[in-house]
C-alpha cells in the first residue's frame, strides 16, 4: 500500500508535521517552476550575484522566494537563512525553529535540462530574537534535514534523525508518496564522483585516492572503479543513496576552504548520509562536528560509502 507523505508525517510531532508539510509544498511549486522554465522564460542568468560572488540564475531567485513564502507561512520558523541572501530573514518571533536552505542546488544545469534540487536543514531557535550567531550550530544539532530532487521524477528525501525516507511526487494526485523507505548506503563501493578537471589543484591524499581508483584491477586496489560527475550535489548524493558511491569536493590549491557551503549543503547532506549508514568528512574531521564561524562558510566535502570515506580520512592523516 502506498503511503502519502501526509500520512507518514503523522508519525512526527505537530511542529515537524507542519514545517515539513510546508517545505514539501514549496518543493512542489519549485518543481513546477523548473519544469516550465523554458516555457515561462525563467531560464538564463538573473543579472545579479549572491554574496559568494556567484552569478545568480533567474530560477535561483524564483526558488528562493517560493521557499521563503511557503516555509514562512507555517509560523514555526523564527528566522531563515538562504544561500542566496546576504543576511538572515526574521519571521515569526514566536517560532521555535530556524530554517537554512539552498533553494536551487546545481542551478547552472537548468538550461541543459539536467537534474537540480533544493536542500534544507532545521535547527532549534533561541528564545530571544535570532541573530546570525544563532545559526552557527554544528551539524549534530540539526533536528531534520532533507532535499528535493527535480529529475525524471520529483523526489523528496527526509531525515528527522531516525533513518532516511524517500518520497516521489505523484503528479496525478499532487502528493508525495513513500517509495524509498529506510534508504541505506552500502559500506563498500566501486564508484566515485569528482570534478577531474581540478586534478592539477588536488592535494596529495586526494590525488593518491583517485589515482588508485583509476588504476583499476592492475593498481593497488585490485578493482575497477567507475567515475561519475553531474555538477549537482543533490543528484550526486541521491545516486549514492540509491546504489552507493563516494562524492568528493575537496579543498585544493585553488579553493583552500573547499567550495560547498557548510550550513546550506554540507551539514544537511552529511546528516542524511550518516543516517543512511554512510560517512562524511572534510578530511580533517567529521563534517557534522565542524563548528561554523560564518553564515556562508565553505568546507571540503567527502561523503558516501563508509569504508571509502574511512580510506580518504586515513590518507589525509
The reply to whether domains 3-180 and 191-316 share a CATH topology is no
Question: Does the pLDDT at position 191 exceed 70?
Answer: yes
pLDDT per residue as tens digits for the range 54-110: 668 889 999 999 999 999 999 999 999 999 999 999 999 999 999 999 999 988 888
Number of H helices, E strands in the chain: 8, 18
CB-based contact 273:280 (threshold 8 Å):
yes
pTM exceeds 0.85 for this model: yes
Per the annotation, binding residues for Mg(2+) are: 83, 102, 104-105, 265
Per the annotation, binding residues for substrate are: 105-108, 195, 259
Would you state the pLDDT for residue 213?
98
Report the largest interatomic distance among the alpha carbons of the chain, rounded to a whole angstrom.
62
**The C-alpha cell of 268 is what?**
544537511
Question: Does the pLDDT at position 10 exceed 90?
Answer: yes
Kindly tell me the sign of the dihedral angle through the C-alpha atoms of 14, 76, 171, 114: negative
Per the annotation, binding residues are: 83, 102, 104-108, 195, 259, 265
Topology of domain 191-316, per CATH? Answer: D-Maltodextrin-Binding Protein; domain 2 (3.40.190)
Assign 303 to helix, strand or coil.
strand
Would you state the pLDDT for residue 43?
80
- Per-domain boundaries in the chain: 3-180, 191-316
Would you state the pLDDT for residue 42?
75
Instruction: Answer whether CATH 3.60.15.10 is correct for domain 3-180.
Output: no
Containing 227, the helix (H) or strand (E) segment is strand 226-228
Amino acid at each position: 500500500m502506498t503511503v502519502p507523505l501526509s500520512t507518514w508525517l503523522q508519525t512526527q510531532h505537530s511542529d515537524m508535521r507542519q514545517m515539513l508539510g510546508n517545505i514539501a509544498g514549496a518543493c512542489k511549486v519549485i518543481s513546477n517552476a523548473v519544469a516550465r522554465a523554458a516555457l515561462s522564460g525563467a531560464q538564463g542568468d538573473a543579472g545579479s550575484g549572491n554574496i559568494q560572488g556567484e552569478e545568480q540564475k533567474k530560477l535561483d531567485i524564483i526558488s528562493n522566494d517560493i521557499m521563503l513564502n511557503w516555509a514562512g507561512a507555517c509560523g514555526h520558523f523564527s528566522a531563515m537563512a538562504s544561500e542566496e541572501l546576504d543576511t538572515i530573514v526574521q519571521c515569526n518571533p514566536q517560532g521555535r525553529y530556524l530554517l537554512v536552505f539552498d533553494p536551487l542546488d546545481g542551478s547552472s544545469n537548468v538550461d541543459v535540462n539536467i537534474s537540480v534540487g533544493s536542500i534544507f536543514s532545521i535547527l532549534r531557535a533561541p528564545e530571544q530574537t535570532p541573530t546570525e550567531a544563532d545559526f552557527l550550530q554544528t551539524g549534530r544539532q540539526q533536528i531534520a534535514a532533507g532535499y528535493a530532487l527535480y529529475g525524471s521524477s520529483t523526489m523528496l528525501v527526509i531525515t528527522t534523525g531516525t533513518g532516511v525516507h524517500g518520497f516521489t511526487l505523484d503528479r496525478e494526485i499532487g502528493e508525495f508518496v513513500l517509495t524509498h523507505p529506510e534508504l541505506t548506503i552500502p559500506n563498500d563501493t566501486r564508484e566515485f564522483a569528482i570534478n577531474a578537471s581540478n586534478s592539477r589543484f588536488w592535494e596529495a591524499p586526494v590525488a593518491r585516492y583517485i589515482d588508485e581508483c583509476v588504476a583499476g584491477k592492475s593498481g593497488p586496489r585490485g578493482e575497477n572503479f567507475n567515475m561519475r560527475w553531474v555538477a549537482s550535489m543533490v543528484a550526486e548524493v541521491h545516486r549514492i543513496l540509491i546504489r552507493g558511491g563516494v562524492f568528493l569536493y575537496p579543498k585544493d590549491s585553488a579553493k583552500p576552504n573547499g567550495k560547498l557551503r557548510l550550513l546550506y549543503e554540507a551539514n544537511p547532506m552529511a546528516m542524511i548520509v550518516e543516517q543512511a549508514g554512510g560517512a562524511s568528512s572534510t578530511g580533517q574531521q567529521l563534517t557534522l562536528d565542524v563548528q561554523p564561524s560564518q553564515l556562508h562558510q565553505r568546507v571540503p566535502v567527502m561523503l558516501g560509502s563508509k569504508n571509502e570515506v574511512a580510506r580518504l580520512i586515513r590518507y589525509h592523516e
